[in-house]
């Protein structure tokens, strides 16, 4: 098959069409990311939305900021998933698009074999909880991965769960990668692909790839909680006289020399080296003596303001960053002056700064596009892709098989 550049050959995935049947984080992130790379993504949902459509945080009007943020730039088709006629229409759309990304389970009309029988070059990518088909979500998968029992302040014994759904994010990106690579093979060979991606395996592979499983297999002890220290090198948080907190990391001898110079502890650190018979140019040695070194370094920060600390750190090679709350971050130049962000006038929610793809491609950044409301594009997608007539759409809508959004002022505002 010869790949056909789409209307905008400038985008890496221009000309690809994707149907997404999804909920929550991983698959919506995959679909959105592929859309940011140029794919035409239609999210297909039950009428009224999937289980994630009203997930917190909400606006005062009950609109989900979570859903709107994870579904930017997609089209939305709403149908009654229990109705065979709706199922057939969705299957037709998938066959037309040639790519399905989904975390739907137990819907045999979405199975690879059923759909690939109609389109052999289908790219079918399914996220499961576990490889055996069992249910799992980020917060349960995470419990098994070792991190919650090794994260957090020294001395804590209870598990510390991450707030960032890191496994969902990784799974969504693995899924997007699987689609792009499978499309590349399809373009080259005409072959479709059936890809199954268990969330649990994404987490397990990552724990393994980072060396934790090898360490345990070769008899390493379980990791102790380190607070803000960084395993095997030097890292610590510090507090300034006015209560700001910074994270500092000294990976190299130069970083560490700069840090001791900045804090006026060079002589003290040298004396310590002599007394202990160690060499702090070695990062493992810095790690072993982290409490002593952190104690020395923190004193300077307690006697200086955040502004003074930021200036001194900026003039050094020390890796550093100030801790921010989400509110502080949203108002920070890191967001407000960042070309990745632009004002998105999101219907039903309002204008706000939203991110595009975190990469510049050939110097270009694509602005984020609004998320649809449930069923916003039902009519357009069915007419455009399947050639359905206005009469047929009216009939399907009247019988509750699909939902088309009303042509309201909201819609016009887009």
- Nearest Cα neighbor of 28 from 172, 134, 197 is 172
Name the helix (H) or strand (E) containing 197. Answer: strand 193-198
54-83 mask for its own copies (x: CB under 8 A)?
-xxx-x----xxxxxxx-x-----------
Alpha-carbon distance 281 to 323, whole Å?
27
Rule CB under 8 A: choose which of 7, 48, 120, 220 binds its own copies.
220
Exactly one of 155, 277, 333, 363 binds its own copies (CB under 8 A); which one?
A: 363
Cβ at position 389, least distance to its own copies in Å: 34
Question: Residue 319: CB partners within 8 Å, gap ≥ 6?
Answer: 248, 249, 250, 251, 255
C-beta of 339: minimal distance to its own copies in Å? 8
Residues 85, 215, 279, 384: which binds its own copies (CB under 8 A)?
215
Residues 180-209 that bind its own copies (CB under 8 A): 180-185, 187-189, 191, 193-198, 200-202, 204-209
Answer yes or no whether residue 141 interacts with its own copies by CB under 8 A. Answer: yes
Q: Which is nearer to its own copies, 86 or 354 (CB)?
A: 354
Stretch that binds its own copies, among 25-33, 42-50, 87-95, 261-269 (CB under 8 A): 25-33
**Per-residue binder mask for its own copies (CB under 8 A), 100-139, x = binder:** -------------------------------x---xxx-x
How far is residue 130 from each of residues 28, 103, 162, measured CA to CA in Å? 18, 11, 20
Q: How far is the CB of 89 from its own copies (least distance, A)?
A: 26
Q: Which stretches of 279-323 are DSSP H helices?
A: 283-288, 290-302, 306-314
Cα–Cα dist 80/273, whole Å: 71
Q: Which residue of 114, 266, 285, 317 would you call a contact of its own copies, by CB under 8 A?
A: 317
Closest CA to 44 of 102, 85, 107: 102
Residue among 7 and 400 whose Cβ is closer to its own copies: 7
Using the rule CB under 8 A, which residue among 302, 359, 386, 413 binds its own copies?
A: 359
* Least distance from its own copies to the Cβ atom of residue 377, Å: 21
The 8-class DSSP code of residue 58 comes to B
Nearer to its own copies, 92 or 237 (CB): 237
The tokens for 158 are 């209870």
Binding its own copies by CB under 8 A: which of 33, 76, 103, 260?
33
Question: Residues 105, 111: contact at Cβ < 8 Å?
Answer: no
User: Considering the rule CB under 8 A, would residue 147 count as an interface residue with its own copies?
Assistant: yes
Non-local CB neighbours of 183 within 8 Å, separated by 6+ positions: 13, 16, 99, 123
Helix (H) or strand (E) holding 238: strand 234-239
Nearer to its own copies, 230 or 404 (CB): 230
CB 122 within 8 A of CB 116: yes
Our measurement of the distance from residue 67's CA atom to the centroid of its chain's CA atoms, rounded to an integer in Å, reads 13
Residue 279 CA to residue 293 CA, distance in Å, equals 13
CA-wise closest residue to 25 among 56, 58, 59, 52: 52
User: Which residues between 221 and 280 bind its own copies (CB under 8 A)?
Assistant: 221-223, 226-228, 230-233, 235, 237, 245-249, 251-252
Which of 65, 60, 22 is CA-nearest to residue 41? 22
Task: Return the sign of the alpha-carbon dihedral for residues 183, 187, 191, 192.
Answer: positive
Given candidates 331, 345, 386, 413, which one binds its own copies under the rule CB under 8 A? Answer: 331
Distance CA 46, CA 76 (A): 10
Q: What is the chain's Cα-based Rg? A: 26
- Is 26 or 78 the residue whose CB approaches its own copies more closely? 26
Q: Which residues are catalytic?
A: 168
* 239 or 268: CB nearest its own copies: 239
- Residue 372 is encoded by which pair of tokens? 């649809």
**In this chain, which stretch among 73-81, 87-95, 211-219, 300-308 interacts with its own copies, using CB under 8 A?**
211-219
In the complex with its own copies, the residue whose CB is nearer, 248 or 373, is 248
Joined tokens for residue 48: 């009224």
367 binds its own copies (CB under 8 A): no
Print the binding letters for residues 280-299 with its own copies: x by CB under 8 A, - otherwise.
----x--x------------
Judged by CB under 8 A, which of 213, 268, 306, 367 binds its own copies? Answer: 213
């Amino acid at each position: 098959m010869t790949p056909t550049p789409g209307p905008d050959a400038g985008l890496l995935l221009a000309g690809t069409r994707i149907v997404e049947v999804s909920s929550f984080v991983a698959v919506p992130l995959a679909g959105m990311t592929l859309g940011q790379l140029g794919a035409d993504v239609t999210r297909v949902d039950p009428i009224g939305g999937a289980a994630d459509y009203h997930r917190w945080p909400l606006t005062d009007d009950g609109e989900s900021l979570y859903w709107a943020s994870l579904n930017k730039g997609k089209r939305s088709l709403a149908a009654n998933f229990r109705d065979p006629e709706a199922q057939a229409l969705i299957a037709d759309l998938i066959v037309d698009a040639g790519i399905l990304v989904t975390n739907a389970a137990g819907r045999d009309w979405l199975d690879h074999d059923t759909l690939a029988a109609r389109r052999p070059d289908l790219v079918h990518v399914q996220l499961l909880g576990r490889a055996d088909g069992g249910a799992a979500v980020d917060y349960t998968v995470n419990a098994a991965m070792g991190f919650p029992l090794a994260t957090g302040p020294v001395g804590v014994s209870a598990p510390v769960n991450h707030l960032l759904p890191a496994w969902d994010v990784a799974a969504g990106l693995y899924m997007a990668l699987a689609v792009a690579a499978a499309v590349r093979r399809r373009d080259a060979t005409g072959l479709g692909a059936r890809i199954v991606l268990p969330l649990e395996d994404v987490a397990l592979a990552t724990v393994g790839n980072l060396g934790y499983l090898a360490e345990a297999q070769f008899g390493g002890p379980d990791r102790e909680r380190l607070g803000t220290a960084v395993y095997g090198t030097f890292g610590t948080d510090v507090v300034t006289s006015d209560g700001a907190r910074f994270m500092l990391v000294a990976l190299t001898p130069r970083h560490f020399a700069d840090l001791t110079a900045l804090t006026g502890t060079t002589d003290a650190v040298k004396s310590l080296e002599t007394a202990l018979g160690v060499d702090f140019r070695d990062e493992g040695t810095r790690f072993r003596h982290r409490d002593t070194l952190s104690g020395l370094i923190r004193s300077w920060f307690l006697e200086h303001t955040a502004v003074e600390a930021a200036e001194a750190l900026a003039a050094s090679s020390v890796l550093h960053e100030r801790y921010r709350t989400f509110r502080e971050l949203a108002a920070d130049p890191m967001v407000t002056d960042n070309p990745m962000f632009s004002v998105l006038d999101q219907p039903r929610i309002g204008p706000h700064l939203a991110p595009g793809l975190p990469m510049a491609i050939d110097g270009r950044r694509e602005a984020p596009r609004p998320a649809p409301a449930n069923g916003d594009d039902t009519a357009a997608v069915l007419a455009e892709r399947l050639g359905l007539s206005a009469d047929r759409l009216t009939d399907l809508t009247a019988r509750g098989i699909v939902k088309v959004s009303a042509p309201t002022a909201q819609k016009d505002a887009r």
